[in-house]
Amino acid sequence: MSQLEEMFALQVRAAKLPKPAREYRFAAPRRWRLDFAWPAQKIAVEVEGGVWVSGRHSRGAGYQSDCEKYNAAVLAGWQVLRFTAAMIRRGDALKTLEQAIGTRS
């Protein structure tokens, strides 16, 4: 797990939200995994690291693969929330997740 994912996990625990599944496989036999998942609600969180430093997720093949995975998740009924480092650090990611889960109005 990345340091950013651990930061988000700590925020989720501190907010006393339901515990997520980590690295959740949602589309067997594909090896796709969701960073955080709440399977009962079909809510997924993807932490998008390296968006300003040409990380894997922002370069051609990685970006294309991520799009394929996210589209497959949506077609399978998942609500996919994508968060950058800045969104997590500011607390915006947690607020959005709380709204999705229904603990915040």
The pLDDT of residue 62: 76
CA gap 36, 45 in Å, rounded: 5
48-103 confidence digits (pLDDT tens): 975 544 555 555 677 899 999 999 999 999 999 999 999 999 999 999 999 999 97
Q: Distance between terminal CA atoms of the chain? A: 30
Residue 103, amino acid: T
87-97 confidence digits (pLDDT tens): 999 999 999 99
14-57 confidence digits (pLDDT tens): 999 999 999 999 998 899 999 999 999 999 999 997 554 455 55
The pLDDT of residue 61: 79
Are the C-beta atoms of 101 and 41 separated by less than 8 Å? yes
The pLDDT of residue 63: 84
CA gap 88, 78 in Å, rounded: 21
* pLDDT value at 13 more than 70: yes
Q: Which domains does the chain have, with CATH numbers?
A: 3-34+41-101 (3.40.960.10)
> Tokens representing 39?
């399977």
| pLDDT confidence tier of residue 105, bands split at 50, 70 and 90 | very low
The pLDDT of residue 52: 46
